[in-house]
Amino acid sequence: MSGRRRKLANEFAAPTTLLQQSLARLWAEVLGVQPIGIHDDFFELGGHSLLAVELLELLSREMGLRVSARTLYLQPTIAELENAVSELYVAGPGKSRGEP
């Protein structure tokens, strides 16, 4: 995938869990930035409201994850979002997490 190189001052921390890796892949797709570290801030990477809506749509379509804009804005890094999303998994009764 082509894209801008990550230009952030915080240290790069690679995704490790499967969920982090999936999230990072979608972030890279939406933001056009590579690589994405788990502590990188969505907005500092160039994210904005239009891209946020695009990302939420992608999370729903590709991962079956229904995440609200507020959840993303309150947890704007992959590490934080993973926590929030994991809780959604537990809370979501019988919600499929598989690929469509």
Binding site for another protein (CB under 8 A): 7, 9-11, 13, 37, 39, 41-44, 46-50, 52-54, 56, 68-70, 73-74, 76-77, 79-80
As a residue count, the chain comes to: 100
Closest CA relative to residue 53, chosen from 76, 37, 33, 30: 30
SS3 label, residue 33: strand
In whole angstroms, what is the distance from residue 58 CA to residue 61 CA?
A: 5
